[in-house]
Amino acid sequence: MIPIGDVNPRRRFPWATAVIIAINVVVFIYELVLPEGRLEMLVRQAGAVPYQVTHALSVPAVASLFTSMFLHGGWVHLIGNMLYLWIFGDNIEDYFGVAGYVLFYFVAGIAAALTHIAFDPLSTTPTIGASGAIAGVLGAYLVLFPGARVRTLVFLFRFIRFIELPAIVVLGFWFVLQIFSGLASIGDAASGGVAWFAHIGGFALGLLVGLIFRRRGRYC
């Protein structure tokens, strides 16, 4: 299932989401023009390396939990992440307000990175991408708008259709997939380099924050 849009009106244009997407695109274009050696150095310095975070505890290592959210490993990685953020981020921004949304987004991203590090603290492979922060957005969306209709491209053998499904189905399926993929990746060096537990950690934080604010009502 590939979400391509949702039917969930918002009150205002999602400026914060648009700016976050724009920054990610600009940074990725910068990655594309870098020579291979300098790109590798950038990923090593700005990506979150679990071993460095758990052993060095230096300012650059801690800062990488933030900077790693703006790097991507390819067009598919970037477009997939930005598509999900555009579809689901606007309503979360609308619900929390700009300041609350931006704070939530980055806290979710850091929580996601720390979850990945907790499961693989000795890894020397840099972790990059906005997936963890976006997973937090998805978790909050599932709680706050479970019945919102999501336009989805569904592939099932020869069955290819555009259908509308409730967010709880689309995002619930996505989360279950992350859990199974994460469990399957434990101890598997050839797991494809995807930080599944970052997705799980970000999504779980989003669920928690969504539950808290659903009881309190809109932030603004």
How high is the pLDDT of residue 187? 64
Which is nearest to 49 in space by CA: 149, 146, 116?
A: 116
Give the SS3 label for residue 131: helix
How high is the pLDDT of residue 193? 65
How high is the pLDDT of residue 209? 95
Tell me the pLDDT band of 215, cut-offs 50, 70 and 90: confident
Give the SS3 label for residue 48: strand
| Residue 127 DSSP symbol | B
Residue 168 has pLDDT above 90, yes or no: yes
Give me the residue spans of the domains in the chain: 2-216
Residue that wins the pLDDT comparison between 48 and 184: 48
Residue 219 has pLDDT above 60, yes or no: no
Please give the Cα distance from 75 to 84 (Å, whole number): 14
How high is the pLDDT of residue 190? 44
Which is nearest to 209 in space by CA: 84, 96, 91?
A: 96
In this predicted model, what pLDDT tens digit does every residue of 169-200 receive, in sequence order? 999 999 999 998 888 877 654 445 678 899 99
Q: Is the pTM of this model over 0.75?
A: yes
- 3-state DSSP percent of the chain in helix, strand and coil, to 5: 65, 10, 25
E-strand stretches of the chain: 2-7, 149-156, 159-166
Residues with Cβ < 8 Å from 143, sequence gap 6 or more? 206, 207, 210, 211, 214
Top-level class of domain 2-216: mainly alpha
